[in-house]
Amino acid sequence: MPSYIIHVGPDWRASHPSLPHLASLFEHHALYEQPSNHPSQFWSEQARQLLGFDKDFHTPHIGSPANGNSARFLGGKLNASIHCVDRHAVEVPDRIALIYEPDSPTDASHQTQPSGPSELGYGKSFTFASAGIVGVFVLQFALYTLNEERKRLSEDEVRQMYTEDELEGMEEKSPFFRYTL
């Protein structure tokens, strides 16, 4: 443990939006030592505190990552969707879930947990996100197809078909041009 203490000024504490998770450097060092000294106890406490098990686990950890047979929280059962959004909406309903900052700062929006799904329309936002991802793949495939068609002609064949001036004037229509994302 370091032999010095870093003092935080009262101005900083007053302007900070919330209290720190750990009250002192000593508390940090005590927490830091726990996983090394008592790993099973530490990770069991952390898992039970931070995760909501539908069925509690009986063994916090067996095996070793070095041997490739590591497993954690055996016998436990989790519901992944609850841990994504639902649990937070129930536990801290007034906590900000999404901050939308458009180009105009006056149009910024802060959505809390309960207002999120109703105001944002998760179905629509998921649809647009999916369409965006699919659109990228479609564009990538189209550009790949164009580039492959242009690769079929050798440089000698292209130079026989076009003059240097014609090739320079073609820009992206030139057989030598390759599209990239």
pLDDT tens-place string over residues 117-132? 455 555 555 665 676 6
pLDDT, one tens digit per residue, over 24-60 is 888 888 888 988 898 889 989 988 887 878 899 999 8
Q: Is the whole-model pTM more than 0.75?
A: no
Q: Quick check: is 52 in a domain?
A: yes
pLDDT, one tens digit per residue, over 21-32 is 777 888 888 888
Q: Quick check: is 53 in a domain?
A: yes
Q: Quick check: is 46 in a domain?
A: yes
Pick 180 or 37 by higher pLDDT: 37
Q: Quick check: is 29 in a domain?
A: yes
Query: Is the confidence at residue 12, as pLDDT, over 60?
Result: yes
What tokens does 129 get?
């996100």
In the chain, the percentage of residues whose pLDDT exceeds 70 is: 72
Q: Quick check: is 45 in a domain?
A: yes
What are all long-range contacts of 41-49, with beta carbons under 8 Å and residues at least 24 apart?
43/72, 47/72, 47/73, 47/76
Q: Quick check: is 41 in a domain?
A: yes
Q: Quick check: is 72 in a domain?
A: yes
Q: Quick check: is 69 in a domain?
A: yes
Domain count, the chain: 1
pLDDT given for residue 116 in this prediction: 45
What mean pLDDT comes out for the span 134-156?
78
Structural domain harbouring 44? 23-78
